[in-house]
Structure 1
Amino acid sequence: MRKMFPLLAVAVLFSGLTLAWAAEEVTITGDAVCAKCALKETPKCQNTITADEKGKKVTYYLAKNAVSNKAHQGLSICGATKDAPVKVKATGEVKEEEGKKVLTATKIEAVD
């Protein structure tokens, strides 16, 4: 029993460090469109940003929050098409959920 508490403490310490390390803030620049209206991938409207990373297209699905909701209408992401996307720069934390990259945005702005 005495040996179990130090092992548990070490496990908790390292798991906390891993979570803090994994939640790193990144900035992504790419083409924004609606996952429902333009990509036909989701049943409800959701912002996506497709970025070019090392010659490969990577799609980030934006988590629903106030920043994402404001950009959806304010930057006309919902009205954008695959052929005419909105160019954006988004900052936030990325994590993987169900095999998809999900960005929780803290800032989204249009770029030229």
Structure 2
Amino acid sequence: MLRYALAAALGLAVVLSAGNSIDAQDKAKDKAKATTVEGKLVCTKCTLNETDKCAHAVKVKAGEKTLTYYIDSKEFHGAVCPAGNELAVKVTGTAGKDGDKLTITKAKVEKAK
């Protein structure tokens, strides 16, 4: 009986420590992808003509290239719609890719100073 109790306690300890290790790995992965970019906030429908509904993207100068990061925030929507309007912003979030598109999720958008 004591053997089974010890085996169960040991098994539970192994499961809990494995769970903590996985949580730590996930947090490290998120931190590694966290990024901040500064650029021009534009509407993906009105300005870029890429979507059927208004959504936002940030156009960032990288040397001679312009990178477009698609974000999951509609903050400052009125400032970038209709077409041709843009707003200088700083965006912080988790960088990634969706197919061949650059993305920033959990985006926090602030007007650039």
**Root-mean-square deviation over aligned CA pairs:** 2.4
Distance 1:48 1:106, change over 3 A: closer
Q: Which residue of 1 aligns with 2:55?
A: 46
Of 62, 65, 74, the residue aligned with 1:69 is 74
TM-score by length of 1: 0.67
Matches within 5 A, 1:9-48: 17=25, 20-21=28-29, 24-48=33-57
Q: For 1:77 and 1:110, how far apart are their aligned partners in 2?
A: 12
Higher relative contact order (CA 8 A, sep 6+): 1
CA deviations over 1:1-59 (Å, ceiling 9, x no partner): xxxxxxxxxxxx89x84884365211110011100011101111110100012331100
The structure that is helix-richer by fraction is 2
- Work out the percentage of aligned pairs sharing the same amino acid: 32
Unmatched 5+ residue regions in structure 1? 1-12
Q: Could you tell me which amino acid in structure 2 is paired with residue 46 of structure 1? A: A
Larger radius of gyration: 2
Matched, 1:94 2:102: no
TM-score by length of 2: 0.67
Q: For 1:97 and 1:59, how far apart are their aligned partners in 2?
A: 12
Q: Which residue of 2 aligns with 1:8?
A: none
Instruction: List structure 1 segments (4+ residues) > 6 angstroms apart after TM superposition.
Output: none
Q: How many residues in Structure 1 have an aligned counterpart in Structure 2?
A: 91
Matched, 1:78 2:61: no
Unmatched 5+ residue regions in structure 2? 1-20
